[in-house]
Each structure stands twice: as C-alpha cells, then as structure tokens.
Amino acid sequence: MQLKRITDSIQIDYVATTLIPAVREEHLKTFKKYKDRKWEEIKYSEAFPLWKGVTDVKIELELISNKVVVLNNSDIKNLEDSLKQLTDIPKWNERIQKLSVLVEIFKVSPKTEDWLGRSLKIFRDDILILGKLVEFAKYIKNHNPDDDENYWLFIKELSSSSELLEFLQDIAEHDIKSLINCVDAYSDGQLTQKDTVSSLIQVKQLRNISYGEEVTKEKIQNAVLKGIYTFEKDDKSNKFNITIEHQTYLPDEMQLYNMSDLQNLRELAQLIAKPTNTSTDLTKEKNSRKIMNEFVLQVDTAQEILNVGSKLIQMGHFDYRQFKKEIICTEERFGTTEMKDLLVKLKADLQNWKKVVDEAQEQHYYLTFFRACLILAFYDYFTYVQDNENTEICRTLIKGERVISDVVDRGKLCVASCNDKLRVPNIIMSLYTNHGSYPEPWQILICTKSTAIEELNLFIKRCFFAAKNGYGEKLFCVANLELLELELQYGLVESIRSMCDKHNDYLLALICCREGSFHHHILDQFSQDVHSTNGLNAEAMKNIYCDLCSNIVCVSSDLSGQGKTEWIKQASFEKKKLLRGFLISDGADFGSLVRKFRVCKLQPFESLHINIISAYNFNEINMFLFELLTLKFVSCKVDIASLPNTPVFIEIASTILQKLLNSLPITGYLVKEHLSWNIRNLNVSSEICSPIQIVCNYLYAYDKQEIDVIDIVLHGKCSIKKPLPVKMCQDLIAKYFFEGNTDGVSSFRFVDIFVNVLADQLSRLSSSAYFTVENLKLMIKDETLLRTTLVKTLIDVSKEFATRSLKTKEAQLESTSDYYKAKFEIIQWDVSNHLLVCFMTQNPDSICTLYREINK
C-alpha cells in the first residue's frame, strides 16, 4: 500500500513537471505550422494522426486560436473545410487500393494519366497536402459518383477473390451449368463447393430454378415412379441408345426423353436436392430429395450402361448385334437395382469378349488385319444373303497380295524422326525400298487425330505375331505418331515394350515428326533407337513412282486457262475411259477426302480426274494422295476405300510461283505433263455457225480486205458451206488477238472470251439488213470502208473486253505481285480504251456507242 502511494506520487510529479510541459511545447511547435496559411503545406500523413477522432473540427480550431496560436477567421474557415475532408481520406485510400487490385485482376493496368493512376501515385508518394484536400476529395468523388457502401463492399470482396475471377475468365465461354456435374470430384475448396456453383448458375441466369422448379420436379418424379427405360442398339446408326418414356395426363400420350434430356434433368435434380432450409413441410422436402437423388443415380447408371454398351458394339460382340432391354420403374420398385444388374452383366460380357478377341487374334493371325467390328461384315458375307454395300466392304478389305521379301534389323525397334511432316512419305519409302519392297496397306498404319486405341493395338499384334504366321519377312511401320493424343502415346509405348519383352522376331519402324516441339513422348521413351532422317531425295522418289504409278499423270501449267482440263479429257478418251471428277479445294482434310472418295466408287471403265484448285491443309492432302496412289487404299474411322487399277490424272491449279504445286511434294514425283502456251493446241470446231468459225471467216475476209466487197452469210442458200481449216483459224486468232498483246493473256480462257464476244457481234452484223454491202452502196454513193471500220472496232472492243473482263481495277491491283510485274506487263485500267461499240439487242440494225471520260 505504501509502495503504491510512492508510485502514484512519482507518476503525478512526472506528469505535472515533465510530461505536460513537453506536450505543450510540442503542441506549440506543431500548431505554429498552422499560422499564416502555413498549414496548407502540411502533408496529409502528418496531419491525420493529430486530427484523427476529432468530431467537431470548428470547436477544436476555436480552442487552438484562443489558447495556442492566433488564427484569423479566413484561415479557420478554409482549414475547417480541409480538416472535414481529412477523416474521409483513409476510406478513399482503402477503396482506391482495392479498386486497383481489381483492375489488375482483369488485366487492366492503371495508367498514370487517368484518375485511378493519379490517385494511387498521390497516396503512394505521400504528396497530398492539407491545402489540396478539398480539391482532391472533389476530384475523387467526381470520378466515383456512387458512394453506396454496398457497392464498395462488393469491390472489396471481388478484389480478394482473384482465384474466383480467374476461374470465371477461364470458363467464360463454357456452360456453367455443367459445373454442377463435376462438383463431387473436388474437395470442399473455395471454388468447388456446390453452393458456389449453384450461385454461379443463378448469377448467369442459365437456370431459373425457382420459376420452373415444380414443373421440373414433376418430370423427374414421373421418370422415377413410372418411367420405362429402354436400352437398345440402333441398326441404322449402329449405336447404343437410351431413352425413357412415361405416361402424361392424356391417356394416349407418352413423354419421351433421350440421354441428352436426361443429363439436363439430372443437373436440375442436383440443384433441387440441395437443402434450402426454407420449406415448411420437412417431410415433403425429404421425400422430394429422395426422388431427386434416386434420379441422379439412375441417370449416372444409364450413362455407364451407354458407355459399356457402345464398346460392346464397337468390338463386334455377336450377342449385341441386336439388343433391346426395358426396365419399368414403379413406386414400389424404382428400377435402379435392375439397371445396376444390367450394368454388371454388360461389364462382364465386355471383359469376357476382350479375352476371347485377344485369344482369337493370337491364334488366327489374319484377325489382326481387321478391327473386331469389321469381322461382322465377313460373318454376314459368308452366312447371310449379301447386300451390295457389305460385299463392297469385304472386297475392299481383302484387296492386295502380300509379297515375301528380305528384312534387316530383326528384333530391333527402328524409330525415325524428322522436322517436316511433308517428308514422311519419303521416309516411309526409304524404309521399304531399303528393305527391298514397297509398302502394302496391311503393313503400314498412318495415324490421324481420330486414330483409336483399338487400331494401334491391332497393328502391334499384327506386327509381333507376324513371324509365327509366315510373315516374318514383312516390315511394319507406324507413321505420324505425333498426331496421337498423349494418352494413346502412353498406351502405345507400354504395348510395344510389353511385346518386345515377349517376342524377338519382329520388324517394326516408328516415324515421328518433331515439328513445332523440342520433346516428344515416344521419341523420349525410345531415345536409344531414334535416328534423324529426311528419307529419299526427289530423284529417288521419282524413280520409284515411275515404276509404282506409271498410269498416274500430274498435269500443270505456267498460267491458268492453258488447256489442262482439255488435255486430261483427251488423254482419258484415248485410253477409252470415261472421266470421273474428284475436286479438292480449301477446307478439305484427310477425313473428308476419304469419305468423299468412298462415295465416288470408281468403275473399271472410268478414269479418275483429281482436280486440286486450292489447298489449306497441305500436309493432310499430301498424305491422302500418298496413301491413295502408293497403297491404293485409304481409311479413316469406319470409312474405307480403294483405288482400282485405272488411269489417274491429277490437275494442279496454276498459282503464283507454282506455290500450290510445290506445297504437295508427292505430285512432283509422278509422271508430269507441264503445259506451256501453244496456239496449235486450240480446238477448232468444224461447224459453220460455231463462234470460232464465224470469227475466223470474218477475220479471213478482213485479212484479204474483202469486208466491204462481200457479205459473210451464215444462214440461208448463200451461206458459207465449207469450214475454214484448223491451222488457218489458229493463225488468224494468233494474228488478230495475240499480236500486240502481252504474254499475260496467253491463255485459252482469254481466247474463249474474245471469240464468243466477237462472234456474237459479228452474227448481228451478218443478220443486219442495214449493213449489207448492197444497201450501203445505195445509201453511200462514194466508195466506203464503213464495214471494215466497224469490224475493226468490234475486234478491238472484243480484245479489250477479253483482257479486262476478268478483273476490275481493284481486283487486278490486289492480285499483282512483284513476280508478275517482272514477268508480265500489267496494263493499268486507267489507260485502257474506254470506247465501247456494240450492236443493240432490241434493235439489231442499230449500233450503240458508250464512252467514259478518263478525267471523270
């Protein structure tokens, strides 16, 4: 007690004699800064601790002015206004900081010149002073008119939810409804709770659960309590389908749902089953949740049945060629148990069937040549009445003899890598020619993005079982492995290693392209067996294809319109074959080309005209041509087609610097027919009234200066009886169309336009009663060259029309390249002849003249 008194005495003395004077002295120093408007230069960070918590600024300033520092009235008013804003500054500082975090999350960096960037800089650099407080506060509020506290609380929450916002950005283009299906696969973390996902669905308004909940409940209850599930194989689509139907209020009406409908209802059932804690009837809510959960279980089981059933059909299980199973749901028996029993049976059948297929393929080697589902085609072929389509499939599958040949590097895996996909055919041919043979369809698997695991496993078995079935000398090759999905690559590596451990008598090569990446799973796994190669060079490939594809010709030309199509038609006619067209253009890929060629179904009396007018997927088109021409066989998924032994013509459209031709290397190895301009290739009809004969008869008379002397009669008793010779017509066209023109119009397309336009006008001249030689003599007493002048004008107009009609000025300029500027003289549109003379259609005896002034 005595010690306490001593302590209190010491503290009182300290406060009275030391602390109060020190505080008073410090206050005098501080408030001297507020005199004579010096307070305007005080920093906000220095002033805030002093004025923090002051509720009545005016009374406080009056006390200071009376007791500490004398302040004039104007100072007090301005200072009061500034200090009133002082207490709001921390709030705005926090808001601005949170807002800046949010815009960063949305990847919008604040700029120093905008209000947010300026405000951040002011707070960060501590440059805000009392004299600018009122102005600064007004500046912020002008840019943030909404001072609602809930709004800024929302900004605060968003700024601390970066993971959520990044997640929403990732799924912005996806259907948020689907998230509810995968909630159970995650932990109770921040983003994956059902409450969060349900809220997202509500925010995006993808489901208005509350509005349609009763209708949805009724649908689901009908499905669970009186639905009939039907599981069956559709013979038309060869797919496993699931449907459910139930009675509606109408006696003769049934409501039908497919699997997609069931999945949508399942999502809603999960949402409805979530406890809401708002129901007044807990028993009813409990029963409803039971129905919803039962429905979710039914749909999940049905989806598993669909997956397993589809695999059984794909693997060709005999018992599932025709399949139908109905499960009826009632209030006493929901049907879930029967569905689970069906699923167990299907899984057991699938497991047993896989075992049967594996054993059969090992015992009967030729089964490794075909996918299991294709075996059914042979089964039908030999046991039932065959239809034409099934017969065609079987014939296609068994085509091709197998040639025994020598082999090298037996029992050692060969892995070839390259950096250019267009070199893959060269590598394949290099492997097989070094082995002493050409590849056959059953020896090679060229992968695509749609290649299935079953195809890979079948091919690997075919390779490693070959030796004990009499094909030990055959080389097997898998190419384009880089196109496989990573999961398939893992499976392929495991399968090859497993087979290598069991067998040492095999010949297998793998080809993989490193294009676009430094590492590749298969190349990494078999790194000790990898070697880089580009395969055979162009000359070696030409020698091979000269022998392998002697009846295949690639036709090209320097310019379009030089007769490629006509040459092909003539060549096919000489071989006594009907020409079948096969067009390849932009948008074509490997799969679409296989499907298109399968429909083509060439007949023995037909030849094939592959017309490549443009290409976007160079690699896939090049590989399609390689497989078709080399293997005479192409396949993709269930589409298969073969090329009969018939002439094939490949027409490559002319492009700048032959870009299209050069982008398809396989075409460069074939027998080539490159067309250059030759007027002797111009086809000339022998019909008197054909455009070419009309034009050439007039040109012949014009050349002999007889236009004003004789009439060129095309019809009637005095008409021309004998056509002009082919060579004469060709010479006349060369003289009157090409002389004076550039090499750029050396095209039969331009000739065709010129001839047709001029023939039309000359026909009108011949039928005109006004422009006959006799009538002109009667009207014009003196000798005249009117007809000659008119014909010359019509020739010039037709030439002008032919050489300018294909492109407008704008299109012409767009297509102009430096290469063409160097090789051809492109005449500017502005300097062309703008005088157009032609016969009028409605009045054949009248001539119309059109003229455009260049300056207008």
Instruction: Give the pLDDT band (50/70/90) at residue 826.
Output: very low
Mean pLDDT of 571-579: 92
Give pLDDT, residue 333: 77
Give pLDDT, residue 385: 53
How many other C-beta atoms lie within 10 A of the C-beta of residue 462? 23
Residue 810 has pLDDT above 50, yes or no: no
The CA distance from 318 to 322, in Å, is 9
Percent of the chain with pLDDT over 70: 75
The tokens for 8 are 């209190």
Question: Per residue in 700-710, is it b (16+ CB within 10 Å) or e — as a string?
Answer: bbbeeeebbee
Mean pLDDT of 55-73: 66
Residue 207 has pLDDT above 60, yes or no: no
Residue 316 has pLDDT above 60, yes or no: yes
Beta strand ranges found along 262-384 (DSSP E): 324-328
What's the one-letter identity of residue 317?
Answer: H
Q: What is the pLDDT of residues 737-789, one digit of tens each?
A: 877 665 555 677 788 888 898 888 888 888 888 888 888 887 876 777 888 88
The tokens for 757 are 């336009």
Residue 473 has pLDDT above 80, yes or no: yes
Q: Is the dihedral of CA 681, 687, 690, 695 positive or negative?
A: positive
Give pLDDT, residue 852: 64
Q: What is the pLDDT of residues 81-121, one digit of tens each?
A: 777 777 777 777 787 787 877 777 776 655 555 777 777 77
3-class SS shares of the chain: helix, strand, coil, % to 5: 55, 10, 30
Q: Which residue has the higher pLDDT, 147 or 705?
A: 705
Mean pLDDT of 31-57: 70
Mean pLDDT of 162-172: 65
CB 35 within 8 Å of CB 69: yes
Rounded-to-10 torsion of CA 335, 340, 345, 350:
130
How many other C-beta atoms lie within 10 A of the C-beta of residue 782? 5
Residue 623 has pLDDT above 80, yes or no: yes
The CA distance from 755 to 691, in Å, is 6
Q: What is the pLDDT of residues 394-410, one digit of tens each?
A: 665 555 433 322 234 78
How many other C-beta atoms lie within 10 A of the C-beta of residue 592? 16
Residue 431 has pLDDT above 70, yes or no: yes
The gap from C-alpha 140 to its chain's centroid, in whole angstroms, comes to: 47
Which stretch of 287-296, 355-364, 735-744, 789-798 has the lowest confidence by average pLDDT? 735-744
Give pLDDT, residue 813: 41
What's the one-letter identity of residue 126?
Answer: D
Residue 471 has pLDDT above 60, yes or no: yes
Give pLDDT, residue 772: 84
Residue 24 has pLDDT above 80, yes or no: no
Supply the DSSP symbol for 512: E
Percent of the chain with pLDDT over 90: 16
Residue 811 has pLDDT above 50, yes or no: no
Residue given tokens 């067998």 in the structure block:
503
The CA distance from 332 to 204, in Å, is 39
The gap from C-alpha 18 to its chain's centroid, in whole angstroms, comes to: 83
Instruction: Give the pLDDT band (50/70/90) at residue 235.
Output: confident
Residue 547 has pLDDT above 90, yes or no: no
Q: Is 575 helix (H, G, I), strand (E, B) or coil?
A: coil
Mean pLDDT of 296-313: 87
How far lies 511's CA from each of 294, 422, 479, 821, in Å? 51, 12, 5, 43
Q: Which residues pair with 242 in a beta bridge?
A: 231
Give pLDDT, residue 105: 75
CB-based contacts of 215, cutoff 8 Å, min separation 6: none
Rounded-to-10 torsion of CA 161, 163, 166, 167:
-110
CB 13 within 8 Å of CB 21: no
Give pLDDT, residue 630: 93
Q: What is the pLDDT of residues 366-383, one digit of tens each?
A: 777 666 666 777 777 666
Give pLDDT, residue 461: 93
Nearest CA to 601 out of 374, 371, 392, 292 is that of: 392
Instruction: Give the pLDDT band (50/70/90) at residue 291.
Output: confident
Q: Which residue has the higher pLDDT, 517 or 604?
A: 604
Q: What is the pLDDT of residues 626-672, one digit of tens each?
A: 999 999 999 888 788 889 999 999 999 888 778 888 889 999 999 98
CB 262 within 8 Å of CB 299: yes
Give pLDDT, residue 796: 85
Average pLDDT, the chain: 77
Residue 336 has pLDDT above 60, yes or no: yes
Q: Which residue has the higher pLDDT, 554 or 167?
A: 554
CB 68 within 8 Å of CB 25: no
Q: Supply the DSSP string of 639-689, one letter for each residue.
A: EEEE--SS-EEEEE---GGGHHHHT-GGGGGSEEEEE---GGG------TT
Mean pLDDT of 724-746: 78
How far lies 805's CA from each of 393, 491, 712, 846, in Å? 49, 60, 28, 24
Provide the residue count of the chain. 856
The CA distance from 72 to 82, in Å, is 16
How far lies 140's CA from each of 96, 156, 588, in Å? 9, 17, 59
Q: Is the dihedral of CA 332, 335, 336, 338 positive or negative?
A: positive
The CA distance from 137 to 125, in Å, is 17
CB 551 within 8 Å of CB 670: no
Q: Is 535 helix (H, G, I), strand (E, B) or coil?
A: coil
The CA distance from 543 to 550, in Å, is 10
Instruction: Give the pLDDT band (50/70/90) at residue 822.
Output: very low
Q: Which residue has the higher pLDDT, 289 or 238?
A: 289
Nearest CA to 560 out of 671, 648, 656 is that of: 656
Q: Which residue has the higher pLDDT, 410 or 210?
A: 410
Give pLDDT, residue 493: 92
Alpha helices by DSSP H, 279-329: 282-314
CB 61 within 8 Å of CB 80: yes
Give pLDDT, residue 266: 84
Q: Which residue has the higher pLDDT, 214 or 612?
A: 612
The CA distance from 602 to 641, in Å, is 10
Nearest CA to 791 out of 727, 710, 679, 720 is that of: 710
Instruction: Give the pLDDT band (50/70/90) at residue 458.
Output: very high
The CA distance from 397 to 381, in Å, is 12
